[in-house]
Structure 1
């Protein structure tokens, strides 16, 4: 069983922001699989799917970004999935918009959602799909940037990012994460 956690913030004010690109990727996969992430469980919205014989969960924490680990912990405590099957999908300023980067582990790199998950799991040993949102101009306020919406001229690159992330999630159902890294990193 794979469990994909897309990071974002609940509410209309955050719906189309850079910080919610993880939710956008989960929505794309949910659409492909014909499921809805509308069921409220474990401090999040959860969808269960069976894809090519593999059970998969799509989880959107409803705790706000900085408390994402509460939802991940609640899901882990209730469903008892293998933490090795966790894949977190989230925004990354160090990756260009239009690109994704897969990582097996690591520090939060300043991302408060990842910091919360590490604190609640007690480890940084979980897989990640980092979705590029690019860096703001030097001197810009980081919080304002990640909570801003994508500009019209960024929409095409946004769609590429979301599509690549959804493709990577589907690939991870069939192949080991290392193989997914080799396929999607650098593409």
Structure 2
């Protein structure tokens, strides 16, 4: 079976590490920690590791996956994603992108295939670089900015104290959603994940 490529979006460096925009990267970092692997620098301008996604019924290791976080800025995510796909020979239908989503309530996780980018520069860059919008997305809800706060300011701010407590649930839920997607397919995974 072809491996999957699971990419968590974010901006590089400690300044951005706690930002709402980086929740995708947080999920992949947690997946690496849970699998006991280290994300290592890859020539595709990303930090990547190979893992098995969960366990199959009967205890067999789950499917192979490359998990990665681009080391470029968010609006240049397409280059690293495209390079990883070429390097590991991964087709678009086995690409899963984890990203922050303003149109999903904070703490909720939604799955979808393709569609628009909703003004998300990381998704726009990926769609352009790989030549299709038809890839799987794990949309990690960050909610809408309060009042008249600018969207760009909102996504580049750290989660607030009460949100950080919820992140302990949202981040693992993102990893669970990836496993559900890979093990059960999109429709079944949506039924499970969207029920929460």
Q: TM range, normalised to the smaller chain? A: over 0.9
What is the distance in 2 between the residues matched to 1:53 and 1:84?
18
Counterpart in the other structure of 2:27: 25
Counterpart in the other structure of 2:38: 36
Classify the secondary structure of the residue corresponding to 1:39: strand
Counterpart in the other structure of 1:112: 121
Verify the 8 A CA contact 1:97 1:158 in the aligned structure 2: no
What is the distance in 2 between the residues matched to 1:34 and 1:65?
26
Classify the secondary structure of the residue corresponding to 1:109: coil
155, 179, 183: which is aligned to 2:188?
179
Counterpart in the other structure of 1:45: 47
Counterpart in the other structure of 1:154: 163
Verify the 8 A CA contact 1:99 1:160 in the aligned structure 2: no
Question: Which contiguous aligned blocks of 4+ residues in structure 1 show a shift greater than 3 angstroms?
Answer: none
Verify the 8 A CA contact 1:168 1:184 in the aligned structure 2: yes
5, 8, 12: which is aligned to 1:6?
8
Alignment of 1:3-152 (within 5 A): 3-51=5-53, 52-152=61-161
Give the C-alpha shift of residue 53 in structure 1: 4.5
Verify the 8 A CA contact 2:38 2:49 in the aligned structure 1: yes
What is the distance in 2 between the residues matched to 1:20 and 1:43?
17
Verify the 8 A CA contact 1:98 1:159 in the aligned structure 2: no
Verify the 8 A CA contact 2:4 2:64 in the aligned structure 1: yes
Consecutive unaligned residues in structure 1, runs of 5 or more: none
Consecutive unaligned residues in structure 2, runs of 5 or more: 54-60
Verify the 8 A CA contact 2:6 2:97 in the aligned structure 1: yes
Verify the 8 A CA contact 2:5 2:85 in the aligned structure 1: no
Give the C-alpha shift of residue 92 in structure 1: 0.4
Classify the secondary structure of the residue corresponding to 2:15: helix
**RMSD across aligned positions (CA):** 1.3
